[in-house]
Chain A
Amino acid sequence: MVELLTQLKPLFQTSRPLLSVLERADLEKLEITSERLLHLFKNAPQDDRQGLHKLRNLVGALRGYSELICEDFDRVKTPELLQHLQQLGKHSSEIDLSQPPHSESDEFDSDIQSHGVILAVDDTEENRDLLSRYLQRNHHEVITASSGQEALEILDTTPVDAILLDLIMPEMDGHEVLRRVKANEALRAIPVIVISGLQDTPEIIRCIEAGADDYLFKPFNAVLLQARIQAGLERKRWHDKEQAYREQLEKSQRFIRHTFGRYVSDEIVENLLEKPEGLKLGGDQREVTILMADIRSFTTICEQLDPGRVVKLLNIYLGAMSEIIIKHLGTIDEFIGDAILAIFGAPTSRQDDTERALKCALEMQQAITAINKANLLEDLPEISIGIAINTGSVIAGNIGSERRSKYGVVGHTVNLTARIEDHSRAGEILISESTLKTSKHNLSIGRSECVSVRGINEPLNIYQLLGFDDKSSSDTNL
């Protein structure tokens, strides 16, 4: 009785959303009754006569409500609940009411022995009865099946914690049932204990190879049966726990992916997930190609638009750009207003970091046409961008404080890129000499300029990138 009530609890929770307000109210009353009954079992009253009275009242209410709800549920919204309620009604009519409740608290609280729903499959009725009796004595709930087919049908609809399986049955024998259970993704985890009529070791070996978890010989010993069931249930419980844990993990990974994926490439996210120690502060020096882009006269645009529309404009723009950068395996280091800082070569460096940066820039410029089309529809102003690319060494890693840090790059190369970007005009891509030299492809260059920039003594050569010159890469999907 106590087990049944405890078992009902989660069912109440899951069924609740499916029910109407009135049905829910009834179910809640049933729940209250169950709670009180559990309480009564846990804290048996001193006075026997009073205890008996309470017990009978509660069992009466329990039975009444379950019958009441069953009557309501003839349309069977939640067959599982209905089944449990009918069971509850049956149990409550069978409960021994001649004795006042004695505190079951010891048994109830110490959950050393786990109880479960056991499916006993045997074609002989006496064996089924015997198994049921043994199992019920150990507080398991027993479902019996008289054939392999019936067993599979039950497994299809009812969650079961362990299966006791007779091997020799007409039509579908135990081996076949076992095979099907283990071939079914949803059932595979249920421990199967096979029961063999003979001490037939090769037969048992065959079963164990086919995935059986344990075995018993007939006539079986009740203590041994309980021990094997216990072990099986324990395994199942661990498996369920592990499963829940795995699901939780996947959920949090999805969350991390979703949250961070908006800002960093999937690659960094994967790195983080695989090596969380990678989150520790610090970095290393490495050769990267840096891409910086910004919208020309963005300040003026901002002045002419209301804030909501500015954000809309930025979202369209940054969304399209992020996609292109990530497609070319770049890492978006930062958005600062309309400005984008992307890195190629960190956290993972590849042979073609520079080429990918260049292709990415070309594609970004091309994408502006489409963005402007979209802007036109939204009644947003046209935009144009300037891009600068520079190659050099940086410190890359998690930079910041323990409280707030981000993967990023710092160093002279970064600053220099920003200076080059200052010189770019609308629609232009400017690359530094180092990038030009690193590129393994011939580039088609437009204007070139020698500029002096803040922070460096020597003047700097910058080149306007028009495209790739060699066939090998011009046929890429730009």
Chain B
Amino acid sequence: MIRILLVEDNELNRDMLSRRLQRKGYLVVTANDGNAALNLMREEQPAIVLLDMNLPIKDGWSVLDEAKEDPTIAHIPIIALTAHAMEEDRQRARVAGCNDYETKPIDLPLLLAKINKLTNNNAY
């Protein structure tokens, strides 16, 4: 079963999205702040991370930087979730090492397609 780490501080979105993903057959682990997210990445070695960029204390950008510098987890694909559709955000996410980028509100079929693509390519 494919393990997804969902990092989201908004409890409604966390609850909703994790359940929708579980329903689609994924195993979902959740974290609600950046530090917990990094710890879980190391412990759980998820197949993919869905990372809300607007997190309290340690935001998504810092998580991304640290993750990409840690060789034990640097390979895990990350999809950035943000409420900002601005082009500069998208660029910034790419540069920081995000594999993909989704704007809230999440369109589930679209997100699923991206998850699918990234987890299948994970073999390399």
A residues sitting closer than 8 Å to B (CB atoms) are 29, 32-33, 49, 52-65, 67-68, 71, 92-93, 97-98
Does A61 contact B85, Cβ atoms closer than 8 Å?
no
Q: Which residue of A lies closest to B19 (CB)?
A: A68
**Nearest chain A CB to B22 CB, angstrom units:** 11
Does A64 contact B13, Cβ atoms closer than 8 Å?
yes
Which of A32, A54, A58, A97 sits near B85, CB closer than 8 Å? A97
* Contacting residues of chain B (75-124) with chain A, CB-CB under 8 angstroms: 83-85, 103-108
Does B13 contact A61, Cβ atoms closer than 8 Å?
yes
Does A64 contact B108, Cβ atoms closer than 8 Å?
yes
- B-chain residues with CB within 8 Å of residue A61 when the two chains form the complex: 10, 12-13, 16, 105
With A52-B84, A57-B83 already in contact, the answer to whether A32 and B105 are too (CB < 8 A) is no
* Given A57-B105, A61-B10, 20 extra CB contacts under 8 A: A29-B15, A32-B12, A52-B83, A52-B84, A54-B83, A56-B83, A56-B105, A57-B12, A57-B83, A57-B104, A58-B12, A60-B16, A61-B12, A61-B13, A63-B105, A64-B16, A64-B20, A64-B105, A67-B20, A68-B20
Q: Most B CB atoms within 10 A — which of A54, A58, A93?
A: A58
- A-chain residues with CB within 8 Å of residue B15 when the two chains form the complex: 29
**Nearest chain A CB to B4 CB, angstrom units:** 15
* Contacting residues of chain B (1-36) with chain A, CB-CB under 8 angstroms: 10, 12-13, 15-17, 19-20, 23
Q: Would you list 21 pairs from A and B whose C-beta atoms are within 8 A, ordered by A residue?
A: A53-B84, A56-B104, A56-B105, A57-B13, A58-B12, A60-B13, A60-B16, A60-B106, A61-B10, A63-B105, A63-B106, A64-B13, A64-B16, A64-B105, A64-B106, A64-B108, A68-B20, A93-B107, A97-B85, A97-B105, A98-B85
Cα distance, A423 to B20, chains bound together (Å): 86
Does A59 contact B20, Cβ atoms closer than 8 Å?
no
With A32-B12, A64-B17 already in contact, the answer to whether A53 and B83 are too (CB < 8 A) is yes
- B-chain residues with CB within 8 Å of residue A57 when the two chains form the complex: 10, 12-13, 83, 104-105
- A-chain residues with CB within 8 Å of residue B84 when the two chains form the complex: 49, 52-53
Does B104 contact A65, Cβ atoms closer than 8 Å?
no
- A-chain residues with CB within 8 Å of residue B106 when the two chains form the complex: 60, 63-64
Q: Most A CB atoms within 10 A — which of B16, B20, B84, B103?
A: B16
- A-chain residues with CB within 8 Å of residue B104 when the two chains form the complex: 56-57, 59-60
Q: Most A CB atoms within 10 A — which of B15, B17, B20, B105?
A: B105
With A53-B54, A60-B105 already in contact, the answer to whether A29 and B16 are too (CB < 8 A) is yes
Interface majority SS on A: helix, strand, loop or mixed?
A: helix
Cα distance, A61 to B84, chains bound together (Å): 16
Cα distance, A56 to B103, chains bound together (Å): 9
- A-chain residues with CB within 8 Å of residue B103 when the two chains form the complex: 56
- B-chain residues with CB within 8 Å of residue A97 when the two chains form the complex: 85, 105
Cα distance, A97 to B107, chains bound together (Å): 14
* Contacting residues of chain B (33-48) with chain A, CB-CB under 8 angstroms: none
B residues sitting closer than 8 Å to A (CB atoms) are 10, 12-13, 15-17, 19-20, 23, 54, 83-85, 103-108
- A-chain residues with CB within 8 Å of residue B83 when the two chains form the complex: 52-57
**Nearest chain A CB to B88 CB, angstrom units:** 12
Q: Most B CB atoms within 10 A — which of A54, A60, A92, A97?
A: A60
- B-chain residues with CB within 8 Å of residue A52 when the two chains form the complex: 83-84
- A-chain residues with CB within 8 Å of residue B16 when the two chains form the complex: 29, 60-61, 64-65, 68
With A52-B84, A68-B19, A98-B85 already in contact, the answer to whether A33 and B108 are too (CB < 8 A) is no
Cα distance, A93 to B83, chains bound together (Å): 14
Cα distance, A64 to B12, chains bound together (Å): 10
Cα distance, A93 to B110, chains bound together (Å): 13
Cα distance, A92 to B106, chains bound together (Å): 11
Q: Which residue of A lies closest to B81 (CB)?
A: A60
Cα distance, A398 to B106, chains bound together (Å): 71
Q: Which residue of B lies closest to A57 (CB)?
A: B10
- A-chain residues with CB within 8 Å of residue B105 when the two chains form the complex: 56-57, 59-64, 92-93, 97
**Nearest chain A CB to B108 CB, angstrom units:** 7
- A-chain residues with CB within 8 Å of residue B20 when the two chains form the complex: 64, 67-68
- B-chain residues with CB within 8 Å of residue A49 when the two chains form the complex: 84
- Rank and list the top 9 A-B pairs by shortest CB-CB distance, nearest first: A60-B105, A56-B83, A64-B16, A53-B83, A61-B12, A56-B104, A60-B104, A59-B105, A57-B10
Cα distance, A225 to B12, chains bound together (Å): 42
Cα distance, A87 to B101, chains bound together (Å): 27
Q: Which residue of B lies closest to A61 (CB)?
A: B12
Q: Most B CB atoms within 10 A — which of A55, A57, A92, A98?
A: A57
- A-chain residues with CB within 8 Å of residue B12 when the two chains form the complex: 29, 32-33, 57-58, 61, 65
- B-chain residues with CB within 8 Å of residue A59 when the two chains form the complex: 104-105
With A57-B10, A57-B83 already in contact, the answer to whether A67 and B108 are too (CB < 8 A) is yes
Cα distance, A101 to B107, chains bound together (Å): 21
